[in-house]
Amino acid sequence: RSGAMSSSAGILSSVARVLDRATWIDLACDTLDVSDAPRAVEPHAVVDVKQRRGDLLRDGCALMSRKELLGDDDGDLELDALLQTMYAIRDAGLDPTWVYMYDATWRVVERFRASLEDECFGGAMTLNFDVLAWFVDPANDDKTTAFTPHRDRQPDNAPGSFHADGMAKYCTIWLPLTNATPRNSCLFCVPKGIDPGYTAGDSDDLDGPSPLEIALKDKAAYQSLR
């Protein structure tokens, strides 16, 4: 593949090279577009709103199928080409975030924005474009690429980060393109029911037990992990 012959040193050698559409189109072997005005994507939302809102209110997390998140027809999202381009980015020694150069990335973001923001949350949330990307090699279970346990956006006033009905005002979406496994990068969630800090916030006492120790206080609690 011509794209695999590129290197980070060559691609990042000048601002002009980075800003040249041809650089990124070549890296993707002419399978993905890079434009100033990407074509629009229809929502095609098929979210089970009642079920998913119930999951979020009860557990603070929800597992959604590819069909729910991306719709009945996701062929226009070019997921296979996007996945192969992620390999090309990796092979070129580039950080995975360079996948943001491609229109296809933002079509995926727009599809699940519409599915969740409009359908599931009824317009109560707005995409803030805080988008991150990692490369997870499904063929290498021994190489982890994950974070240590953490909370996303723990504010000083944790109770104030929820609506009156208990729905969180902030939601993180994780979308794997490769077959992530529990050994190499599968996402785990501690459900709301066993996590006192989810709504009340965590203690600032550095000498006390950690939030994870409080939530997973015995073997039975581990069975609740999602």
The model's pTM: 0.80
**pLDDT of 45-83, one tens digit each?**
577 778 888 998 999 998 887 777 776 666 667 888 898
33 with 103: CB under 8 angstroms?
Answer: yes
pLDDT-flagged residues of the chain (< 70): 1-7, 9, 38-39, 41-45, 71-76, 118-119, 122, 138-147, 184-185
CB atoms within 10 A of CB 135: 16
